[in-house]
Amino acid sequence: MLTAKQHELIRFIQQRLEDTGISPSFEEMKEALDLKSKSGVHRLISALEERGFIRRLPNRARALEVVKLPEDAVTGSEKPSAANDLVGAAMPTKTVAPEPANDIIDVPLHGRIAAGAPIEAIEGQSSMPVPAALLGPGEHYALEVSGDSMIEAGIFDGDFALVKRTDSARDGEIVVALVDNEEATLKYLRKDAGRVILDPANGAYDPQVYDAHRVQVQGKLAGLLRRYH
């Protein structure tokens, strides 16, 4: 079942596509649903995408396609007959939209994280704009990288790590690992016989080995942003 906001959003997207052939921007969706931030829109879109109601068109951050509608999300002035029910049926042909500009999503910026010896992860109150095309489904946050232990993975001091929030990950994935509930680091995850091994991507650093209960996964790397001065 969809929530009321999910119903409202898919109706709004479908109506805009029918009227203009162009999917609405994140700002327009935020205003239409009376949400406080674009991150709320992103969560709703991700949920609809995961349930198969909409899909994002490749390489076009603003281009959304409604795959199917819930039974009560009928647009237009009249409800169609059963023979023309939109649920599970092919959607009407849409006008080809021009190539849209990228949408921007504000994600929380939670201070700095070590790519070296663990340092304290600072909970900040700020946010940073991120192109929506860089983020997939799920909730995300950003951390500024400090140190050089992940340079062989292409992660450098001063980069911004875009992290998908999760408490689990597979061996070989780059994760945000919280050690002893107070220090955080960005490393490859490896598990072995009740231990957690945090592997660097720099031959100058040794792996960090902890008892499994001391380490909590707080997210896994989803992307990077880099500033050039």
Examine the domain organization and report whether 68 and 133 are in the same domain.
no
| pLDDT value for 116 | 64
Q: 206 — alpha (psi -120 to 50), left (phi > 0) or beta?
A: beta
Task: Read off the pLDDT band of 227 (50, 70, 90).
Answer: confident
Q: Of 30-39, 92-101, 131-140, give the lowest mean pLDDT range.
A: 92-101
Secondary structure in 3-state letters for 168-195: CCCCCCEEEEEECCCEEEEEEEEEECCE
9 and 50 share one domain: yes
Does one domain contain both 148 and 220?
yes
Domain shared by 120 and 43, yes or no: no
Q: Supply the pLDDT for residue 109.
A: 83
Q: What is the pLDDT of residue 198?
A: 95
pLDDT tens, position by position, 49-67: 888 888 876 545 457 888 8
Q: What is the CATH number of the domain that holds 197?
A: 2.10.109.10
Per-chain mean pLDDT for the chain: 78
Do 211 and 110 share a structural domain? yes
Residues 37 and 132 in one domain: no
**164 labelled catalytic:** no
Answer yes or no: do 78 and 115 share one domain. no
End-to-end CA distance of the chain: 48
Res 173: pLDDT: 95
Q: Which domain holds residue 117?
A: 104-225
Give pLDDT, residue 177: 92
Q: Tell me: the pLDDT tens digits for 78-130?
A: 443 333 333 333 344 444 444 444 467 788 887 788 776 555 555 555 778 88
Element (H, E) at 227: none
**pLDDT, average across residues 181-188:** 89
Q: Which residue has the higher pLDDT, 157 or 85?
A: 157
Judgement on whether residues 65 and 112 belong to the same structural domain of the protein: no
Supply the DSSP symbol for 197: E
Where residue 30 sits, what CATH number does that domain have?
1.10.10.10
Selection from 132, 79, 98, 130 nearest residue 23 by Cα: 98
116/190 same-domain check:
yes
Active-site choice (25, 149, 164, 220): 149
- Structure confidence at residue 130 (pLDDT): 83
Clarify whether 37 is annotated catalytic: no
User: Which has the higher per-residue pLDDT, 23 or 214?
Assistant: 214
Q: 30, 164, 187, 220: which one is catalytic? A: 187
Let me know if residue 202 belongs to a domain.
yes
Same domain, 132 and 79: no
Quote the number of domains for the chain.
2
- In this model, does residue 43 exceed pLDDT 90? no
Judge if 110 and 216 occupy the same domain: yes
